Structure 1
Amino acid sequence: MRTKKFFLIGILTVCFGSSVVKAQDIYLTIPENNIFSRVEFTSVPTRVMTNANRTNWDYVFFGFSPIAPTFTSTSGSTFTHSSSLFNLPNSVLLWQLESMGGQLPYTGLSGSLPGFQLFSTSSTKWFEPPTTSLGGGFSRGNINFIFKIPASQFSGNAFRAGNYSMDIIQNYNDFTPRNFKTILVIPQSIRWITTSLTKYIEISSLNDYRSTSTRVWDLGNTEIAHTVDFNLWAKTAANTVQFTSSKGVSSTRNIASIKLGSNGSALTTKSLSASFQNFSASNFNVVSGNRSIFNPELYVSADDFKNYFFEAGTYTFELNLNTRSTDNSINSLQNTAVQIKVLPRSEITIPSSGRNVNFNFNTAAQYNNGQSQIIPNQITLSNNESFELYVKSDENYFKKSGLQTNINSNILQIGIDGSSVNVPLSKTPQKILFDGTPVLDRQLNVRYTVAPADAQSLIGKENSTYSINLYYSFTAI
C-alpha cells in the first residue's frame, strides 16, 4: 500500500505541473503620439519566452551543426485586425533579441546576433549559435526582445483602432511558450493637428458689396489625425452674430445667414445654427498616414452680405467644431472665434454729366423771378456708417476769369430734392442731409436755387461768366 501511495502522488504532481504551461500572447500598445507624429516606436525589453532549464543550444552531427532558434508565422504574412477586414503588412514590426536571462548569449566562435528582422511565414533566425557546442551558451530566465516600428511605416499604413495579431511558433521545445500571438494594440484617438483658434476677416472696400458673387472665407487648411472613422459636426455658441458698430452700438444678426462648407467635396454646405449638425459629405475614414486634410470655408450670399454685414463695425461669433467617431464613442472639440471687421468707408461720386450747373440770366423774368433747377442723380453716395451730408464752396465769392468778384456765394442755395432744407452756399460746410443711415450707391437729385431777391442783385453786373466750386462731404454721426 505504501508503494502505491507514492505512485499516485507522483502522477498527481506531474499532472499539476503540466497545467501551468500555456501560451502568453505579446501585447504591444502603440502610443498615439508615435502614430500621429509618425515617430519611430521602440518598445522596452519585452519578455517573449522563458527558459527555466537549459543553458546551451541544440546541435546535430556530433555537436558541430547548431540548430538556430527561429520564429515562424503560422497565420500568414500580415497582422490581422480583430474586428474588421483590415490588416497591416508584416513589415510594420521589426524585432531583435535583447537578452536571455538578463544578458546576451555568447557570440564567440562565430556566434552572432542578427539585426532587426520581421516575422515571416518562413523560419527566421533570431540568434546564430556558435558553430560548435563548445562555443558557449546562454543564461536561464526570461528571453526578452526589443520591438520597433519605423517612422516610415506610420506614414505608409493606416493604423486603425483595435488589435492586429499574428500567430507565431518557435522551434525550441524547452522555451515556453511554444506558440504565441504578437498583438499590436492601436488606441482609439482623434487629434486636431492644426489649431485655428481664431479667424480674422477684414472688409476694407465698398466694392466687395457691389459684387454679385457669394462671399467665401477660407478657415485654413485643417488636418486631423485619427485611428477611428469620424464625422465633422459643427454649431455656433449662439444663434446670432454679435455686432458692435464703429460707434459702439450693439445689435445682432441671424447666424443662419452664414453657411459652412468646404473647398472640395469633404463637407456639405449648410447654414450654421446653435445646434450641432453633421457636415460630413461621407465618413472620414482612417487612411494611410492616419491624417485627414480638408479646407472648411464660410459662405455668405451677395444679398445677405450687403444686407446684414454692410455697416462698419465688428461681427463676431464662436464656431464649435467637433470630430466625432462614427460610433459616437470618442470625440475631439475645437472652437474657433470668428471676427469680421468692416472698416468705415464712404464715397461720393458725381458723373461727368453732372459736374457743371449753369444759370443763364438773359431775360427780365429770370432776374425778377429767380431760377431753380434739379440735377437728377447728380450725386451717388455710399457710407457704411450713419452720416450727415454737407456742402461748401471753395471761396465766399464767385470768380470771373480766376479773379474774385463781389458776388457773394450765398446767392446760391442748395438742397436735396424732396427735402425742405435749402442752405446758402458758404465756405463753411452747411448740412443738407440729416441722419443718413448706412447705404450703398444711393442716388440723390440735387436742387440749386437763386431766389428772386438774389437774382435781382445781379442786375447791373458785367455781362460775363461767374463761377464757383462746390464740395460735398460726409460727417459720421
Structure 2
Amino acid sequence: MRSFLMGIFALCCGSTVTKAQDVYLTIPENNIFNRTEFTSVPTRVMGNANRTNWDYNFLGFAPTAPTFISTSGQNFIHTSSSATLPTSVLLWQLESMGGQMPSVGYYGSLPGFQSFSTGPVSWFEPPANVLAGGFNRGNINFTFKIPGAQFTANAWRSGNYSMNISQNYDFTPSNFKTVLVIPAAIRWNTTNLAKYIEISSLNDYRPAGTRTLDLGNVEIAHTVDFNFWAKAASSTVQFTSSKGVAGSRNIATIRLGSNGNELTTKPLSATFQNFSAASAGVVAGNRTSLIPELYVSAEDFRNHFFEAGTYTFELNFSARSADNSITSNQNTAVQLKVLPRSEITIPSGGQNVNFNFNTAAHYANGQTQTVPNQIRLSNNESYELYVKSDENYFKKGGLQTNINSNILQIGIDGSGVNASLSKTPQKILSNGTPVLDRNLNVRYTIPPAGAQTLVGKENATYSINVYYSFTAI
C-alpha cells in the first residue's frame, strides 16, 4: 500500500512540474517583404505517449473530435507593444500523429487549413466507429501557413505575437502558446543606383523659383520604425566642362528633401544627417514609399550649374532603426548633364539701323549710331561673337550696287574693336564667359572715308543684312 501511494504521489508531482511546450514560428523577412506565402516544415505541437484511439461514447458510435480553442481572444498579441494580428493570419492543418496520418476509414476526415478561434475548432474528424481505426503514439505535428495576402493586409512589427491555445484531449501539453516570431529587418525594395538628369534648354535657368530634381520613387520594406539618413560621398560636385576642363562645385548648394512631408529639407554635406521629419512607422504591407528630391535655388542654379558639361556626385542613403541597431544602405550616383546651348535675340524694335545722309557734314565727318540693348546674348560655353554680311556690297531695290559693305564698321559699346563688315565673319567680342541673357549695346559706324565714297551716289535707299554668330572656344 505504501509503495502504491508513493507511486501515485510521484506521478502527481511529476505532472505538476511538466512545462508546456510553446510553438514558435519564425517568419522569414523575405516572405514578409515579398508578400509571398509562408509554409512551415512539419512542426511538433503536442505529444502522445500512451493512447492510440479517439474518445467515443459508451456505445462507440459518437466520436469526440480533437479541438483547439483560443483562450486569449481573436488576436495574436504583441508581447512588447500594443500591436496585434488577427487570428486569421495563421492557418494550420494536422500533418501526422506518430509519423503517420490517422485512419480516415468509416467516414473519418482531415479538415482543410483552418485558423484558431475563441470557439472550438476540430483539427481531425475521427471515424464514426471505434473499430474503424485510431492513430500512432508519438509527436503530433502540424503544418502552418500564412497566405501572401495576409502580409499585404497587415502590419508585421518585429517581436513576438502570442496566442494562448487549449486542447481537449489528454495529449501533452493541454495548453500552449502559439508564437509568431517576426525578425527586425529593413530592406530597400527599389535600387535607384543611378539618376541621370539632362538640361537641354536655356529656359530651365530663367524661372525665379527653386529648381527641383526628382530622384524617383524609393520603397523601403521594414518591420521596425526607421529614419531616413543621407549624405554626399564628397563635399564637392565634380564638374567636367564640354571642353574637358575639370572643376568642382560646393555640394551645400544642393538641398535634399521630398515631395511630401516625410523628409525635412537640408543642405547636403559629406556627413550623415537624419532627414526624417518623424520616424517612419510600420504600416500594413510593411513598405514605406517616398520620393526624395534635390533643390537648388534659382540663383545657385544659374551661377553654379549653367556651364555646359557634366556635374556628378554620389548620394549615400541609409534607412536606420530608431535605435540605430539596424541599417540598410543604398548609394545613388547622380549625373546632371547640361548640353551646350547658345542664343542670340534681337528685339523687334532694334532690327533696323538707318543712316541718313542729307547734310554736307554727314559726308565729311561720317556717322555713328549706338543701338542700346540691341542684342541679348546667352551661351553656356566660353565663346567669341562674330559679325558678317550676306553680301560684299549694298543693294538697292534688290540689286547689287558698287557700294562696298566695308564702309560700315560694327563693334560692341565699351570695346575698342570695330570690324569692317564683309561676307567673312569678323570677331567683335573675345573670350566671352558663360552668360545668360546678357544685353549688348551695338555700335555702327560709317567713318569719314567711307562716307565720302557715297558722294555722288544716286539718291536712294541702300541696304545690307547683318548676321551675328557664336564660335565656342
| TM class, shorter-length | over 0.9
Matched position secondary structure for 2:460? coil
Q: Answer whether contact 1:21 1:176 (CA < 8 A) is retained.
A: no
DSSP 3-state at the match of 1:267: coil
Match of 2:322 in 1: 326
Secondary structure at the counterpart of residue 375 of structure 2: strand
Residue-by-residue CA offset, 1:86-135 (whole Å, 9 max, x unaligned): 11111111111011111111111121111111111212111111112111
Aligned residue for 1:79, secondary structure, equals: strand
The structural deviation recorded for 1:22 is: 2.4
Percent identity between the aligned chains? 75
1:293 counterpart (283, 289, 294): 289
Per-residue CA deviations over 1:196-229 (Å, capped at 9, x if unaligned) read 1111111111111111121112211221111000
Answer yes or no: is 1:338 the counterpart of 2:338.
no
Task: Tell whether the 8 Å contact from 1:59 to 1:65 is kept in structure 2 after alignment.
Answer: yes
Which residue among 385, 388, 392 is the counterpart of 1:396? 392
Q: In structure 2, the residue corresponding to 1:139 is in which secondary structure?
A: coil
**Separation in 1, partners of 2:229, 2:332:** 13
Find the residue that maps to 1:176 and give its secondary structure: coil
Equivalent pair of 1:82/1:163 in contact (CA under 8 Å): yes
| Deviation readout 1:133-185 (Å, 9 max, x if unpaired) | 11110111111101011112111110000111111111111x11222111101
d(CA) in 1 for partners of 2:178 and 2:161? 8
Q: Return 382-391 or 7-16, whichever deviates more.
A: 7-16
What does residue 215 of structure 2 align with? Answer: 219
Q: Which residue of 2 aligns with 1:462?
A: 458
Q: Aligned residue for 1:168?
A: 165
- Equivalent position amino acid for 1:145 in 2: F
1:45 equivalenced with 2:42 (yes/no)? yes
2:141 equivalent to 1:144:
yes
Q: What aligned pairs does 1:41-440 form with structure 2 within 5 A after superposition?
A: 41-173=38-170, 175-440=171-436
Amino acid at match of 1:61: F
Decide whether aligned partners of structure 1 residues 160 and 339 sit closer, same or farther in structure 2, where only a CA change above 3 A counts: same
How far apart in 2 are the matches of 1:7 and 1:192? 67
Give me the whole-angstrom Cα distance separating, in 2, the residues matched to 1:94 and 1:232.
36
What amino acid is the match of 1:59?
Y
User: Aligned partners of 1:132 and 1:401: how far apart in 2?
Assistant: 121
CA deviation profile, 1:348-389 (whole Å, cap 9, x unmatched): 111121111111222221111111111111111000110000
Distance in 1, Cα, partners of 2:172 & 2:219: 46
Structure 1 residues not aligned, in runs of 5+: none
Q: Using structure 2 for the length normalisation, give the TM-score.
A: 0.96
The DSSP-based 3-state class of the residue aligned with 1:211 is coil
Matched AA of 1:453: A
Q: 1:20 to 1:139 in 2, by over 3 A?
A: farther
Unaligned runs of 5+ in 2: none
Separation in structure 2 between the aligned mates of residue 10 and residue 447 of structure 1, nearest angstrom: 123
Inter-partner Cα distance in structure 2 for 1:393 and 1:475: 16
- Counterpart CA distance in 2 for 1:468 and 1:94 is 90
Alpha-carbon offset, residue 13 of structure 1: 7.2
- Please list the CA deviations of residues 22-69 of structure 1 after superposition, one character each: whole Å capped at 9, or x if unmatched: 211111111111111111111111111111121111112332221211
Shift of 1:16: 8.8
Q: Distance in 2 between matches of 1:57 and 1:448?
A: 114
Q: 1:8 and 1:97 mapped to 2: Cα distance?
A: 39
* Count of residue pairs the alignment pairs up: 473
RMSD of aligned residue pairs (Cα, Å): 1.8
* Partner Cα distance (1:182, 1:227) in 2: 20
